[in-house]
Amino acid sequence: MAKLTVEGFGTVDVEDGKRLVLAIEQDAHVDVLHACGGNARCTTCRVEFIEGEPKQMTVAERQVLTAKGATGVRLSCQIVCDHDMTVRAISRLTGSGRPDPGGPPAPEITPPPQWIAV
C-alpha cells in the first residue's frame, strides 16, 4: 500500500500499482480532470508534486509536456502509485466549466508505457 496525500484533501491508502489519476479520483475523492481518458494527450490530469515525484516518466508524458511547454507538473494518468506521494490537484472539474471530468481512464497506463528517467 502506498500513501497518497492530496493537499487540502487528506491522506489515503492506495493499492500498489494503481494509476495516480484513478487514486486521486476514487480513493482521495478529488475531482481531477482526465479529458482524454488517460491517454497522455490533453494534460488536464496534471498535478504538482510536493513530495515523492517519480524519477521516471513515460515517453508519452515527456512528449506531451514538451509539446505544450508545461513545466513543474506531471501527468497523473502516466504515473502509478508504488510509493508515498504528496500532490497538489491543480486541474479539477470544479471551476473548469466542463460538463464532466472526461472519459474513464483504463486500469493500466495507456498507451502502453515506455519508461525513461526524468
> Which stretches of the chain bind ligand FES, using CB under 6 A?
34-36, 38-45, 75, 77
Closest CB to ligand FES among residues 1, 34 = 34
Q: Find the shortest distance in angstroms from Cβ 44 to ligand FES.
A: 6
Q: Which three cell numbers stand for residue 31?
A: 475531482
Q: Find the shortest distance in angstroms from Cβ 14 to ligand FES.
A: 17
Q: Return phi, psi of residue 26, to 5°.
A: -90, -30
Q: Going by C-beta distance under 8 Å and a sequence separation of 6 or more, which residues neighbour residue 112?
A: none
Q: Which residue is nearest to ligand FES (CB)?
A: 77
Closest CB to ligand FES among residues 2, 46 = 46
* Cα distance between residue 80 and residue 82, in whole Å: 6
Maximum distance among all alpha carbons in the chain? 36
Closest CB to ligand FES among residues 41, 88 = 41
